[in-house]
Every structure is written in structure tokens, then in C-alpha cells.
Chains A and B, each alone.
Chain A
Amino acid sequence: MGTAPKTAAPASGRAATKKELPEHFKAYKHVWVFIEQERGQVHPVSWELMGAGRKLADKLKVDLAAVVIGPEGEATQSAAAESFCYGADLVYMVADNLLADYRNESYTKALTDVVNTYKPEILLLGATTLGRDLAGSVATTLLTGLTADCTELDVDTDGSLAATRPTFGGSLLCTIYTLNYRPQMATVRPRVMPMPERVARPVGRIVSHPLGLVEDDIVTKVLSFLPDRDSAKSNLAYADVVVAGGLGLGSPENFQLVRQLATVIGAEYGCSRPLVQKGWVTSDRQIGQTGKTIRPKLYIAAGISGAIQHRVGVEGADLIVAINTDRNAPIFDFAHMGIVTDAIRLLPALTAAFRARLSPHSRDRIAS
């Protein structure tokens, strides 16, 4: 696929003639999700993947397993227990204190060993910094295919995983198969799949697997870990309400209007890519294909044209409201609601009107 000559045309020759799955891969069964935990916290993308994995497993009529890797003790046990509440039929667990910090060597060994021992047909990981670091190493060790940043996962009529992902910055989508190798591996970015509902369920079957390493086997050492300051941490991807600004705002000073509105309605603020490139806003606030994917209940976009690379990051929002001076801007093709006006004037008015409307005082008035 990759290099120039044949990207455009799908691999017709090979795709058309599906070869028989080699005998030694036929034992590969069941859908697995790698549960990512770092410093005692499960990354929400893991539960999102459990939701997607459950659907695949049901279609294939196989089990859904969670793979929990981490240090011995409370956090890892509770990650395993939670996995059942998000739909796991069983859990594979590698618990060892050498796994307290994420390190490529030890995690690659742990995950590769479990795969080689228990043989899943599908293995899903979050496309986070940890998940991508790990997935690339594991897939290469296993010499199998890995489809990156999928936006849709489905099972084909013949039982193969059909993994769809955006390419060329989101302007196209392609569906990728791993036909003759197992497991079929794929990564998915946070917030791309909806969060499934948590259903309280008892702890089920947990299969423990040893790590089989001593500290001296692991070359890389963690000298220290500097957690992001809370104030610096943006909760953009998981926010219920997001207000974002684009180049149409014209200046970094005008971007303050976005932040002010966000503060008043308890939203996170975000931006389009050019604002990051200009240094007006930090990169963790970028929304879109090469930034964060968001799924808020309300998304207000001011002075953003709605390029495809921006669109793919916001389409999961329940309600998209666009403010733009150009009634032909592409954002009106996918926004639910829009207003054709100058955002620099509307934003302060909107901030004031929301403040009045949402203040406890005005609510009392409504009640009485």
C-alpha cells in the first residue's frame, strides 16, 4: 500500500484472491482488548475499545477478553475487575512489580507472551503514546499486520476484521484487512468510539500469566516521572462542552473571547490547527485529525471553516453550532446549527447572554 506507485488503487490482485488462512493460525480465536493503565489509572480509551470489541465478539460468536498488564496490587486487580463491568468474558493478567512503569521492553514481552500462549484472532489497543509504542513492537515481533487509528471496526462476512481509517489527513477513508496473519491488530484513538455503559458485574475468570523477567533483563530505566500540572492538563477530549476558535478570529487577543465563553459555560476551549502553528494556542488544544478527537454534547466553533481534517475530530459531537461570516463555509455542511455573523461581535454577546441565563438568580426567576 504505502509507497507512491499504488496507493490510489487498492491491492486488487491480492485483495481479490483471498488465500486460505495457514493451518497454524486456525487456532487463533476470540477478541482481545489491551487495558492500558499508567500509574494506577486505566485510560478511558480501553473501555471504549471494550465496547467496540464486545460487538465484534458477538458478531463472531466468540469471547471478549481484556488483557491487564501492570504491577502487583490494588490498581491492577481493580482494572481486571472493572473489565468485567465493561463486557469482558475473561481477563488475562500479567501482574509483576517490574511493570509498575510503562517500559517498552517489559510490556512488549508480557503482551507478546500472552498472545503466543492464548492466541487471539483480534487484538485492539488505544492509539495513545503508550499504545502506539507497544503495538508497533508487538506487531513486528509477531510479524503480523497492524492497522492504525481506526475509526470503524467491523467483521466481514468471512469473519475477517474490516478496519476503516482516515488517510491523507482525513480527506479519504480506507478499509484495511489482515487476511493471512493472526492476530489481526488495530489501534483506535481516544474518543473515536463511544463509551459503553458500565454494568456492575461480579469478577469472572482471570487467567494469570508470568512475566518471566528480572530487573537486570530490562535495560531501560525510568529515572523520574514528571506528571503534567493539573492546570496544564486539558480535559478537552472528554469534555461535555467545547468552545473552539479558528483563524477567522484574526488575532490571539480575540481568542480570549473563546476562553471567556468557555469559562462561563464550564466548557473546555480548543482551536483549529493554524492557531497552534501560529503559536496563539498550545498544541494540546488542537482539535482534529492531528489533534484531539472530541465527543461533547455541545460544540461551538467560531471562525473555523470546517476543513475535513477538523471535521473528523468533531463529528461525534451531539450538537455542533457554527459561527462564521461565510454562509458557504464547509462547516455548515456538517454543523447542526449555524449563524452567519461576525464571531468577534457575537462571542461577547453570547458570553453575557449565557451568564445571565445560567446564573442561579435567573433560574430562581424561571422557577417562580
Chain B
Amino acid sequence: MHIVVCIKQVPDSAQIRVHPVTNTIMRQGVPTIINPYDLFALEAALELRDQFGGEVTVLTMGPPSAEDSLRKALTFGADRAVLLTDRFFAGADTLATTYALATAIRKISTEFGAPDLVFTGKQTIDGDTAQVGPGIAKRLGLLQLTYVAKISALDLEARTIDAERRSEGGVQLLRTRLPCLVTMLEATNQIRRGAMADALRAARAPIVKWSAQEAGVEDISKCGLRGSPTIVKRVFAPAARSEKAALIEVGEQPAEALIDAIFKRQPALETELAALARGY
């Protein structure tokens, strides 16, 4: 079995700072990590490989430094890493991203064998659109299972996969055909620690690096900024509110004072809360 896992290298967003004057993102010195959601996809893929045999290929599109994230993925036990990097990919929105990733997956397919499954994370922590998984599936003509909590069965003979998909009001148990694309839900597994042997291998392993041309991109105008129907017109910090919170004095009876202040500000709340409270 061959599984491709798409991972994205993202800035550790907890540490992102915004320039106070220009409102631009200051990326310098911000450490990068594998998008945390992608680790659930990677672990799910590694578990299936351990169970059914085969190989896991990790794929990322990003700057040359995204190699760090691929090596990290190899330490967890991925078998092969592919870096798609080219200045033509810069500035891609999700449509241009899926064009590039789908093209690379076709190339992976001819070079290393057609994937039975493609995994992505649910979303990233920077762009955060959750659109790349469905986009890749559509471009490759793969069936898609999104928000998957659990892969409950995989039958390589019958070429079927059963999965539990989170929907708004419950869980759908779906059966579909391989090859298919799965976007994995968070907190569904725990990434392994990785074996010492994998860590040693990862440090030296060759990374497959493809430019747009090497990946088989036929139409460069579909890549990067040029291939993106959406454009960011403006980036700005949210407006600060002028009003500060009215602070309640902490006197003898702070709870009563707070409740009085709440009902004074919103008189209708008293009857509404009483009605709500009676419902319990």
C-alpha cells in the first residue's frame, strides 16, 4: 500500500508579532513547525502502514527551508519525503496550491507507485481555510472523506474504506472506494515518538526536491500568485475598542454588587435569567 501525506510547514503562530506601524507580519526569527493538525494525518497513515505494509510518502509545498519539516516527518517513520519548491509557487491561494500539490501527487504516482490513500490535516493554523484537502481530491478525481475521526475498516482486496466522519449533528459511517483522500480530525491519535533508527536515517536521508517543471507542471500560469483567483487586498490589526471595562468595587458583598451592576445595565436580563433558571 502507498499513502501520501500532505504536510505544511507553518510559523509557530503563538509567536507571531505584528509590526505596530506597518501592520505586516514579522516573520523574522519566528520558529516554524509542522502544522499541528497534520500530525494526526501522519500518525493515522503510519498506523495503516504498520498494519497493512507499504510505504508512506510525505509531501510539502513550500520554501527550501520546509525541508526541516520533512526531516521531522521522517524521524516519526515516514519512508520518503518530497519537497515541492519553486518561486513560481509563491503567493498561491488554495486553488493554486491544490493545482501544484495534485500535479506533484501525479508525479509521485508515476515515480513511486500510485497512492491508495492521500491524507491531509483538517486545516492549518496560518491560512486556516480547510480547503486544500477537498481541492486536491477534486483535482485528482479522488473520493473524499473529510473530518474523519476513525478509519474503521480498510479492505485492500475489495478496494474499500470505512470511516467515521464527524458531521454537525452526529457521526456518519461512510464506505467509499480507494483511492481516496482523507482529512483527519484533531485529537484522534497521538503522534509516535519515533524510533532511534528513524532519527538517524532522517538526518541523512535524501529529500526528493522538485521544481514546478520537474514536478510536471504544464501550465505555470496556474501556479502561485498568477494562478490564484483570490487576492489579499489589505492586512490589518483588529481595531481596539475605546471603551474600557467598568470595574466593580470589591466591597463586602462583591457577588451581589456584580449582579446589581449586570441587571442595572441590562434590566431585561433579570426576568430572562429567572425563566432560564426555571428550565433547569
Contacts and interface: CB of A to CB of B under 8 A. Distances in A.
Contact of A335 (B92, B143, B167, B245): B245
Contacts of B233: 10-11, 15, 162, 174-177
A306 B248 CA distance: 18
A129 B166 contact: yes
Interface string A143-181: 111111100000000000010001111111111111111
Contact of B135 (A140, A170, A340): A140
B274 A132 contact: no
B240 interface: yes
Contacts of A166: 238
Nearest to A180: B229
Interface string B8-19: 000101101010
Nearest to B131: A136
Interface stretch (A27-35, A86-94, A196-204, A353-361): A353-361
A354 B277 CA distance: 10
A164 to B, nearest CB: 8
B245 A336 contact: yes
Contacts of A321: 258, 262
A145 B95 contact: yes
A320 B89 CA distance: 44
Nearest to B137: A137
A132 B129 CA distance: 9
Interface stretch (A76-84, A114-122, A209-217, A263-271): A263-271
B255 A350 contact: yes
Contact of B169 (A11, A180, A227): A227
Given A135-B131, A146-B230, A297-B266, A1 B258 contact: no
B13 A333 contact: no
Interface residues of B, number: 100
Given A9-B24, A145-B230, A226 B135 contact: no
A223 B173 contact: yes
A357 B259 contact: yes
B29 interface: no
A136 B230 contact: no
A92 B102 CA distance: 33
Residue among A166, A266, A338 having the largest count of chain B Cβ atoms under 10 Å:
A266
Interface residues of A, number: 108
B244 interface: yes
Nearest to A327: B247
A221 B277 contact: no
Interface string A22-45: 000000000000000011010100
B195 interface: no
B273 interface: yes
B258 A266 contact: no
A63 to B, nearest CB: 24
A1 B265 contact: no
Contact of A173 (B236, B247, B258, B269): B236
Interface in A1-19: 1-11, 14-15
Nearest to A164: B234
A221 B175 contact: yes
B225 interface: yes
Given A8-B27, A171-B18, A219-B176, A337 B246 contact: yes
A147 B230 contact: yes
A223 B259 contact: no
Contact of A140 (B138, B170, B173): B138
B107 to A, nearest CB: 19
Given A177-B230, A180-B229, A140 B139 contact: yes
Residue among B143, B170, B266 having the largest count of chain A Cβ atoms under 10 Å:
B170
B16 A168 contact: yes
Nearest to B90: A5
Contacts of A174: 232-236
Contact of A178 (B25, B87, B229, B235): B229
Contacts of A148: 128-131
B128 A149 contact: yes
B128 A167 contact: yes
B177 interface: yes
A332 interface: yes
B31 to A, nearest CB: 13
Nearest to A135: B131
B95 A139 contact: yes
Interface string A227-268: 110000100000011000000000000000000000111110
B15 to A, nearest CB: 10
A336 B280 CA distance: 28
B139 A353 contact: no
B63 interface: yes
A198 to B, nearest CB: 20
A11 B225 contact: yes
Given A129-B166, A225-B171, A173 B235 contact: yes
Contact of B131 (A43, A139, A352): A139
B109 interface: no
B21 interface: no
B128 A137 contact: no
A263 B138 CA distance: 46
A41 B94 CA distance: 31
Interface in B236-265: 236-238, 240-241, 243-248, 250, 253-256, 258-259, 261-262, 265
Given A171-B13, A178-B230, 18 more contacts: A1-B228, A4-B90, A5-B90, A14-B225, A136-B130, A143-B95, A162-B233, A168-B16, A174-B232, A219-B177, A222-B174, A227-B169, A318-B266, A332-B247, A339-B250, A339-B258, A349-B255, A353-B256
The 4 A-B residue pairs whose C-beta atoms are closest, nearest first, are A266-B276, A136-B134, A145-B229, A145-B230
16 contacts: A2-B93, A3-B61, A8-B25, A10-B231, A145-B93, A146-B95, A149-B128, A149-B129, A169-B13, A172-B236, A176-B231, A222-B173, A241-B272, A297-B272, A333-B245, A358-B274
